[in-house]
Amino acid sequence: MKWVVAILFVGALVAHAAPENTSFLQISQQAESAREANQLPQAINLYQKALQLRPTWFAGWWEVGSIYYDLDLYSDARGAFQHAQADAKMQAPADAFMGLCEYELRDYPAARTHLSKWRAAGEPGGPSVAHVANFRWAELLIQDGRFFESLSLLDKMALEMGPNPSIAEAMGLAWMQMKYVPETYPPEKREMVWLAGTAALWLSVNKHLDYSMVYLDRLTSRYGDQPNVHLLHGFVDEAAKDTDGAIDEDAKELKISPDSIAAMVQYALLCADAGKQLDEADAAAHRALTLEPGSMRSHFALGRVLVAEKKWAESAIELEKAEQLSPNVSKVHYQLARVYLKLGRKQDAQRESAAFQALERAQPIPGVVEPDSPIQSTEGPSQ
């Protein structure tokens, strides 16, 4: 993917600058003209001269940083954007570009810090910057083991962009729970990542379950003994409304990855939904909670199994814990509403029902990876 950078805010920033001496004014205007004429080496020289005369010309730092970035001179670009940040108005957009430069320079911790700041500031800079920066952010989330958050972002990007090999590769890494950015994972893992990623991408883009299954079947036949492959298969089976198939895949995953909390939670939830194998589901949910105490997904899974077992009071306790940990997961409110009704707590049930509906309305496009997806584990090889 080519990340062409739009030079942002330039008009406003140039207007903001107020050159005080003729020499600076002349040189800065020449620099601008050279940039507009795409004479970039000359433009860089002129900006540097102007910035020597006036180091507080922040618009100039921004401009020269943008030129360096477009020339793939990321170290120089980062330095220039750092200078530009001294102007409060440029701070957040410069965070995005510094993060992008640092990603290219493979300084991933610094990239994570700057992109995180940019996101916290509301992702300023327009859609082209948001597109690039969020993709890099998604890649860094995978490296950090935050697979679920990454998949949520990638899912949205796939819907916007359609099939794209870079998104597929990132999705493959996330689904296989490999803590790598695409540049650094072992080449011998490519086939597995490609198959998993393409299966996930087809599912995301057009909900093409049949296309997804082609890659998934091949993935399973080639790498069925590897962790997370059956977990993904179960996820796709579930999307295809094949609950029995999904339960079967999760059971296989648990044989390969007996400590996979994601598989335990997925298995427990599917069994509870189907009203099948509830003893095994109960055991899986309890084990998940033992391995990961205080996690929303484990409390929710146990609560959901207890609902299926009609143990209303016990399930209310677990679901309430899940709600406290993550108040914005609609499914938790839905289950709580059901349980409160069974317990005769009508007002509580109405409150939970309203919360459920509000959250459902707030999510206009349902993604493939939902907030309570059990994928959000941090298992996998470390860098």
Partner 1 sequence: MIAATALFALAMSTMAVAPDQPAHHASGAASQARSFGQISTAAMKAWNEKRDKDAMALFRQGLKLHPDWNEGLWYLGAILYDHDQYSDARDQLRRYLSLNPKNGEGWALVGLSDYKLREFTHAAEDLNRAVQNGLGGHWDLTGPSYYFSALLLTRDGHFAESSQLLYVLKDGDDGRTRVDVPLEVPMGLNALGYAMLPEEVPADLVPLARQAGVATFARFEGRPGEAKNIFEQLLKQYPNEQGLHFQLGYLLLLEHSADGVGEMQKAIALAPYDFEPLLSLADYYNDTGKYDEALVDVDKALALDSTVVSAHVTRGRILNAKGDTAGAIAEFETARKAGTSDNRVLWELARAYRKAGRQEEAAQVMKELQQQNALPQTPKQ
Q: Which of 82, 144, 194, 243 binds partner 1 (CB under 8 A)?
A: 194
Contact flag: residue 36 with partner 1 (CB under 8 A): no
- Residue 71 beta carbon to partner 1: minimum distance, rounded to whole angstroms: 5
145 CB-near residues (< 8 Å, 6+ apart): 177, 179, 377, 378, 379, 380
Which stretches of the chain are DSSP H helices? 10-16, 22-36, 40-53, 58-70, 74-84, 91-104, 108-120, 127-143, 147-161, 165-175, 190-206, 209-223, 229-239, 243-256, 261-274, 278-291, 296-308, 312-325, 330-342, 346-362
Q: Which of 15, 188, 361, 382 binds partner 1 (CB under 8 A)?
A: 188
Name the residue nearer to partner 1 (CB basis): 1 or 6.
1
Structure tokens at 36: 């507009």
Contact flag: residue 190 with partner 1 (CB under 8 A): yes
Contact flag: residue 82 with partner 1 (CB under 8 A): no
Contact segment (CB under 8 A) with partner 1 among 8-16, 69-77, 89-97, 312-320 equals 69-77
What is the longest distance spanned by two Cα atoms in the chain?
A: 83
Structure tokens at 197: 């990623």
Do residues 96 and 118 make contact, with C-beta atoms less than 8 angstroms apart?
yes
Fill in the DSSP letter of residue 89: G
Fill in the DSSP letter of residue 40: H
Q: Which of 40, 130, 239, 274 binds partner 1 (CB under 8 A)?
A: 40
Contact flag: residue 71 with partner 1 (CB under 8 A): yes
- 331: closest CA among 367, 304, 313, 310? 304
Contact segment (CB under 8 A) with partner 1 among 36-44, 240-248, 286-294, 320-328 equals 36-44
Contact flag: residue 202 with partner 1 (CB under 8 A): yes
| Crossing angle (nearest 10°) for helices 165-175 and 190-206 | 110
SS3 content of the chain, % helix, strand, coil (to 5): 75, 0, 25
Contact flag: residue 342 with partner 1 (CB under 8 A): no
Q: Which of 11, 41, 127, 275 binds partner 1 (CB under 8 A)?
A: 41
Chain centroid to CA 328: how far? 17
Q: Which of 5, 34, 44, 231 binds partner 1 (CB under 8 A)?
A: 44
- Residue 47 beta carbon to partner 1: minimum distance, rounded to whole angstroms: 13
Contact flag: residue 161 with partner 1 (CB under 8 A): no
Name the residue nearer to partner 1 (CB basis): 46 or 270.
46
Name the residue nearer to partner 1 (CB basis): 75 or 290.
75
How far, in Å, CA of 47 to CA of 226, rounded? 54
Name the residue nearer to partner 1 (CB basis): 211 or 312.
211
Name the residue nearer to partner 1 (CB basis): 184 or 328.
184
Q: Which of 18, 22, 72, 364 binds partner 1 (CB under 8 A)?
A: 72
Contact flag: residue 208 with partner 1 (CB under 8 A): yes
Q: State in Å, rounded, how far the first CA of the chain is from the last one.
A: 24
Do residues 274 and 247 make contact, with C-beta atoms less than 8 angstroms apart?
yes
C-alpha distances (whole Å) from 3 to each of 39, 305, 344 are 21, 47, 57
Do residues 345 and 231 make contact, with C-beta atoms less than 8 angstroms apart?
no
Contact flag: residue 75 with partner 1 (CB under 8 A): yes
Name the residue nearer to partner 1 (CB basis): 44 or 355.
44
- Residue 168 beta carbon to partner 1: minimum distance, rounded to whole angstroms: 9
Structure tokens at 273: 């939904």
Contact flag: residue 240 with partner 1 (CB under 8 A): no
How far, in Å, CA of 195 to CA of 172, rounded? 7
- Residue 375 beta carbon to partner 1: minimum distance, rounded to whole angstroms: 23
Q: Which residues contact partner 1 by CB under 8 A?
A: 1-2, 40-41, 44, 71-73, 75, 165-166, 182-184, 187-188, 190-191, 194, 198, 202, 208, 210-211, 214, 222
